[in-house]
Amino acid sequence: MSDDCIFCKIVAKEIPGEIVYADEYVTAFRDIQPAAPVHVLIVPNKHIPSMNEVDEEDAVLIGRMHLAAKQVAEQEGIAERGYRLVINTGDEGGQVVYHLHLHLMGGKKLSIPKYN
Ligand code: 5GP
Ligand code: ZN
């Protein structure tokens, strides 16, 4: 738990979040500014700032985040139609909140982002 981290506070239920899935390892809640009809953030329950701080011992946790995303996609009814999973890392990667999170987006045909 990082005292000044908004996602740690949502995990700890200190501030409201629309939680759609939670287990021992991860919590998933709706993005406050959805970029798609379904936009859920899957975060580790422990504070990891970004992919840059992930290490060997977090391998299972990273897998758990993806398994939770798969489950939420099924729950939300978008598994068959398809969805996108994204992890923004660092300033140039577009990361704004420094608690690792996996974006699950779907519910419409998503455009392919331009990277140049
Ligand atoms: P990033 O740009 O760091 O990959 O994504 C951060 C995401 O967190 C953004 O999509 C933003 O809308 C979302 N977000 C920021 N603050 C909050 C919050 O307080 N609650 C929720 N549910 N989402 C948030
Ligand atoms: Zn945190």
Residue of 47, 66, 99, 101 marked active site: 101
Q: What is the CATH number of the domain that holds 49?
A: 3.30.428.10
Q: Residue 41 domain-assigned?
A: yes
pLDDT digits (tens, 9 = 90+) for 17-60: 999 999 999 999 999 999 999 999 999 999 999 999 999 999 99
Q: Whose CA is nearest to atom 12 of ligand 1?
A: 33
Q: Which residues line ligand 1 (CB under 6 A)?
A: 6, 17, 29-33, 41, 88, 94-97
Whole-number Å distance between alpha carbons of 96 and 74: 27
Q: Which domain holds residue 72?
A: 6-106
Q: Residue 112 domain-assigned?
A: no
Question: How many domains are there within the chain?
Answer: 1
pTM of the model: 0.97
Substitution candidate for ligand 1 out of 15, 92, 96 with most atoms within 8 A of CB: 96
Long-range contacts of 19-22 (CB under 8 A, 24+ apart): 20/72, 20/75, 20/76, 21/68, 21/71, 21/72, 21/75
pLDDT digits (tens, 9 = 90+) for 74-90: 999 999 999 999 999 99
Q: Residue 113 domain-assigned?
A: no
